[in-house]
Amino acid sequence: MLRPIRSTTSVRALALALAATTFAPAAMATTSEDSPSVTTSAAASTTAASTEIKPPVAAKKPHTYTVHGITIEDPYDWLYDKSYPTVDDKEVLDHLKAENAYFEAKMAGQTALTEALFAEMRGRIKEDDSTVPQKDGDYLYWSEFEEGAQYRKHYRKPVAGGEAELLIDENKLAEGQEYFRLGAASISQNGRYLAYATDTNGSERYTARIKDLTTGEHLPDVIENLRGDLVWVKGDTALVYGPSTEEWRTLEAKLHVIGTPVESDVTLYKEEDQSFGVGTGLSAQEDWLIIATGDNETSEVRLVPANDPTAAPILVKPRKKGVEYGVDVRDGELWVWTNDDHINFRLAKASLKAPGEWQTVIPGSDDFYLTGFDLFKGFFVTEGRLNGLDQIQLRQYADPAKITPITFPEASYTAGLSNNPEYDMSVLRLSYQSMVTPGTVLDYDVKTGGLTTLKTQEIPSGYDASLYVTERVSVQARDGTMVPVSVLIRKDRAEILKKAGIEGPGPLHLYAYGAYGYAIPPGFSTSRLSLVDRGFAYAIAHIRGGDDLGRRWYLQGKMFERMNTFNDFVDAGRGLIAKGYTAEGKVTASGGSAGGELMGAVINQDPSQYGAVVAHVPFVDVVGTMLNAKLPLTPGEWAEWGNPITDKSAFAYMLSYSPYDQVVAKAYPPLMVTAGLNDPRVTYWEPAKWVAKLREVKTDDNLLVLKTNMGAGHGGQSGRWNSLKETAEEFAFILWQMGMAPKSEGE
């Protein structure tokens, strides 16, 4: 559903948007791989139709570099097309195509299983689905999927009554495109104009256009190379946006006056620190433009009157390394969310005349992790986590210490504020789900405390929650830390495994992310039922690096404590084996982006635990990428991983775990790897180089495949069915490698 920019911008969301994460939120009979025998990567493409195709062998070309007195050989550096983001090197493209041909050939025998999985996954999705309409001003807004459609249509209609009005048809915009994604979309406060941005190749460089909703025509204004938000200001006569630099960084907030040339757009703020990113939003009452800049650990915010955006900005507080803060404004008073005196953040207030003098409203707590707040006319809401579980708390301006919690029945769940676009709200829209409870939309009556269920995710093919159970177990990591794990299983799992002829403990799929302070919530997924219904246990490891248990939990998994993340995952799997959920070699695992880095690290550390691993767009060449300041977001990532260019100890520590650099001659589990040619976050050559090196040195005959989406980016293919098909492909690989796939002809 389109969420007009006049909606309150979450302070937490704006702050997180500034953490310009290159690798971030964001998420299966062993066959033997043929022995490598091809000496040029292009040769494999000539036999793509044959299942006897040999795996591509990338050429080795001498390349070394020396950092802090240490020389590193990287013979696969040539896979990095130095003209990136343009990738036109024929040898590079031929190699990627050869890998794709090999992938298709090896997966050909699993086509029937992939189609069966896709059909059952699709059967769980209501094709002609719509969101619950939400009032914003004079209109109700919602979006719909039509049966069979890949993309949404966005609508509105007057609250007073009238016909529905089609705002955007994503399907029409996507016609003729291999890839399509709708980015920022903002309706002007007077309801007349719609500004929206689209990406048609996965590079996340958007093009913005403006539609006059009274005529249905587009204005001539076109803003190219957009990354940030589209914020209406100055009485709906201008837009504030964030352009992308050539290096895919957002260092400016620019003002475009409707009807004027884009070349004459005014820069409201320009960031000089290449490691910072700039984001914009509106205050709760839409009277202030918030211009925030920051990296993964430091913030700085400026305020400008929304009706006079070129006025001199008010600097809230100068940046201080390690101090994060986000702000909102209500009735001329500044509200601040910050970690300046407590690791789990506090909430403070200040006068606009002295914006840097913060007075505590809610102190930081060792127990409660304050993740954000939202201001409304008659009350405000704080969100956070207590013992790892989401909390939504209503508070009164006159007595902020008094809490009215919104409580939920299950022991493990995920919940939060949903779309609440108006400042004067008496009923809050909430979202709720658990690993066994489908996504639910709720309305909470602020006055009575009553909860009304508006919609529960419909599963057309049927779903009986009573067949499943979710558990939250704790596993001890090697340093004594107790790591929580959320597990979903069928109550009749033993019977399912017996019918499948599986003796002893069944397989278990383990998932995690573990970076940037992003918690992986124990939410619902229809697709994972395709594993669980076949006897898998499905587990989410809430490892350090995420902020599942508070800010300290995150900090214990970054920089010089990064190894905790990998150890937690390995130890979580070992702990689940010890508890009888599964057995050695029956753990399958998956992760994407920084979670793909996790996959690379854990198979280097403990390969025998895993029966199959899937690494999506994996950030595996940590050293090479962090040494390359020309790459899109590398400077902004030094606060997360360390700067190996200037810091010898950071370089040495990074080298000790970087999956690509730590590949050695030993047996690895079956491995499926994905990449996106246009991915600006994890560049395509990282997985390509990793796979090439693994092919060269691994001592096993297990299957290793690489699939590169040649017309997509970080998120894989676009469109709900294309994306679902890739999930089916992943699960088919896992089931096949675990000996749980139906026999194909010739086997």
Inform me whether the pLDDT recorded for 8 exceeds 80. no
Q: What does the pLDDT average to over 282-298?
A: 95
Q: Which of 29, 91, 51, 17 is closest to 705 using CA atoms?
A: 51
pLDDT given at position 566: 98
- Confidence (pLDDT) at 718: 66
Residue with the bigger pLDDT between 172 and 716: it is 172
| pLDDT score recorded for residue 197 | 95
Give residue-wise pLDDT tens across range 319-334: 999 999 999 999 999 9
Give the model's confidence band at 715: pLDDT under 50 very low, under 70 low, under 90 confident, else very high: low
- What per-residue confidence (pLDDT) applies to 27? 34
Residue 605: pLDDT over 90: yes
Maximum distance among all Cα pairs of the chain, rounded to whole angstroms: 78
pLDDT of residue 503: 87
Catalytic residue list contains 542: no
Q: Which residues of 326-347 are buried (b: 16+ CB within 10 A; e: fewer)?
A: bbbbbeeebbbbbbbeeebbbb
Annotate 45-80 with three-state secondary structure: HHHCCCCCCCCCCCCCCCCEEEECCEEEECCCHHHC
Encoded tokens for 96: 């990627």
Q: Which of 95, 154, 509, 714 is catalytic?
A: 714
Strands 610-616 and 671-676, bridge-based pairing: parallel
Q: What is the per-residue DSSP string for 622-651?
A: HHHHHT-TTSTTHHHHHHHH--TTT-HHHH
The encoded tokens of residue 561 equal 């404590």
State mean pLDDT over 244-273: 93
Q: How far is CA 627 from CA 34, 112, 253, 287, in A?
A: 35, 44, 28, 42
Say whether pTM exceeds 0.85: yes
pLDDT confidence band for 22 (50 / 70 / 90): very low
pLDDT in tens, 613-660: 999 999 999 999 999 998 877 988 999 999 999 999 999 999 999 999
Q: Is the pLDDT of residue 722 over 90?
A: no
Top pLDDT among 554 and 16 is at: 554
Radius of gyration over every alpha carbon of the chain, rounded to an integer in angstroms: 26
What is the Cα–Cα distance from 430 to 440, expressed in whole angstroms?
A: 8
pLDDT of residue 244 exceeding 50:
yes
Query: What is the reported pLDDT for 265?
Result: 96
Q: Which of 141, 123, 125, 122 is nearest to 133 (CA)?
A: 141
136 is catalytic: no
Percentage of residues in the chain with pLDDT exceeding 90? Answer: 81
Pair 693, 56: CB distance under 8 Å: no
Backbone dihedral angles phi then psi of residue 739, each to the nearest 5 degrees: 70, 25
| Residue-wise pLDDT tens digits, 529-565 | 999 999 999 999 999 999 999 999 999 999 999 999 9
Summarize the confidence of residues 56-70 as an average pLDDT: 96
pLDDT band for position 3 (cuts 50, 70, 90): very low
DSSP label at 526? Answer: S
Name the packing angle between helices 90-107 and 720-737 (round to 10°): 60
What is the mean predicted confidence (pLDDT) over 238-251? 90
Given the residues 136, 328, 661, 679, the one annotated as active site: 679
Which residues make Cβ contacts (< 8 Å) with residue 409, sequence separation at least 6?
Answer: none
Dihedral sign computed on CA atoms, order 478, 482, 483, 488: positive
Integer angstrom CA distances of residue 632 from 92, 197, 597, 598, 647: 20, 20, 18, 21, 21
Residue 644 neighbours by CB under 8 Å, 6+ apart: 67, 623, 626, 627, 650, 651, 654, 655
Kindly give the interhelix angle for 720-737 and 111-123, rounded to the nearest 10 degrees. Answer: 130
The pLDDT of residue 76 is: 98
Residues with Cβ < 8 Å from 65, sequence gap 6 or more? 71, 72, 74, 627
Percentage of residues of the chain with pLDDT beyond 70: 92
Mention every residue, 6+ apart, whose C-beta is less than 8 A from residue 16: none
Using the CB atoms, write b or e for 657-695: b if 16+ within 10 Å: bbbbbbbeeeebbbbbbbbbbbbbbbbbbbbbbbbbbbb
CA-closest candidate to residue 619, choices 677, 660, 668, 563: 660
- CB-CB contact of 694 with 705 (8 Å): no
Whether 718 and 712 have beta carbons less than 8 Å apart is answered as yes
Catalytic entry in 412, 530, 593, 718 = 593
52 vs 228: CA distance, rounded Å: 47
> Over 50: is that where the pLDDT of 358 sits?
yes
C-alpha dihedral (45, 49, 53, 56), degrees to nearest 10 = 20
Q: For residues 619 and 683, what is the distance between their CA atoms, to the nearest angstrom?
A: 8
Cα distance between residue 502 and residue 538, in whole Å: 17
Q: Is 547 a residue of the active site?
A: no
Q: Are strands 389-395 and 403-406 parallel, antiparallel or unpaired?
A: antiparallel
Could you tell me which residues are beta bridge partners of residue 325?
A: 338
pLDDT band at 288 (very low <50, low <70, confident <90, very high): very high
